[in-house]
Amino acid sequence: MGLLDYLQEQGIDLESSGGIVTAADNSQVEVVINPNNLDVTVAENDRKSVLVLHTKADSSRMVFDVHPCASLRVVDVYLGGCFAESVVRQQAGSVCDITSVVTSGAVVDYMVDMNGKQASNALKSIFLSRGEEYCKVAVRVNHNYSDCTSNSLVKGVASGKSKGEFNGMVYVAQDAQRTDARQNSRNIELGGEAKIITKPQLEIYADDVKCSHGATVGQLDSEAILYMRQRGLSEMQARRLQIEGFAKDIVYSSSAFGDVLAEELNRFLEEI
Amino acid sequence: MLSIKNLCASVDNKQILRGINLEVRAGEVHAIMGPNGSGKSTLASVLAGNEKFTVTDGSVEFLEQNLLELPIEDRARMGLFLGFQYPVEIPGVTMANFMKMAVNEQRKFRGEEPLSAGEFLRMMREKSAIVELDSKLTNRAVNEGFSGGEKKKNEIFQMAMLEPKLSVLDETDSGLDIDALRIVATGVTRLHNEQNATVVITHYQRLLDYIVPDYVHVLYKGRIIYTGDKTLALKLEKEGYDWLINDYKE
pLDDT of amino acid A102: 95
State yes or no: pLDDT of B242 exceeds 60. Answer: yes
Overall residue count recorded for chain B in this entry: 250
Size of interface A-B (CB pairs under 8 A): 73
Domain boundaries, chain B: 2-245
Tell me how far CA of residue B196 lies from CA of A87, A206, B15, B25, B45, in angstroms: 64, 67, 31, 8, 20
State yes or no: pLDDT of B247 exceeds 80. Answer: no
d(CA A101, CA A108): 10
B73/A232 Cβ within 8 A: yes
* In chain A, % of residues over pLDDT 70: 100
For A238, name the nearest residue in chain B, comparing CA atoms only: B98
3 state DSSP class of B244: helix
Q: Under 8 Å CB-to-CB from A214, ≥6 apart: which residues?
A: A183, A184, A185, A200
Encode pLDDT of B175-210 as tens digits.
888 888 999 999 999 999 999 999 999 988 888 888
Edge-first strand listing for the sheet containing A210-218: A18-22, A28-33, A47-54, A71-78, A95-102, A120-129, A149-158, A180-189, A210-218
Which amino acid makes up residue A165? E
Residues of B in contact with A227 (CB under 8 A): 84, 87-88, 90
pTM (two decimals): 0.87
Confirm or reject contact between B42 and chain A (CB < 8 A).
no
Question: Which of the listed CATH numbers 3.40.50.300, 3.90.1150.10, 3.40.50.2000, 3.30.70.580 matches domain B2-245?
Answer: 3.40.50.300
B88/A221 Cβ within 8 A: yes
Encode pLDDT of B76-135 as tens digits.
999 999 999 999 999 999 999 999 999 999 999 999 999 999 999 999 999 988 888 887
CB B162 within 8 A of CB A232: yes
Instruction: Output the average pLDDT for chain B.
Output: 92
d(CA B114, CA B103): 8
CB A60 within 8 A of CB A85: yes
Handedness of CA B86, B91, B97, B98 (dihedral sign): negative
pLDDT of amino acid B15: 93
| For range A205-230, the mean pLDDT | 95
Which amino acid makes up residue B40? K
State yes or no: pLDDT of B249 exceeds 70. Answer: no
For B92, name the nearest residue in chain A, comparing CA atoms only: A245
Q: Which of A224, A232, A241 sits opposite B76 (nearest CB)?
A: A232
B90/A224 Cβ within 8 A: yes
Nearest CA-CA partner of A213 in A158, A171, A254: A171
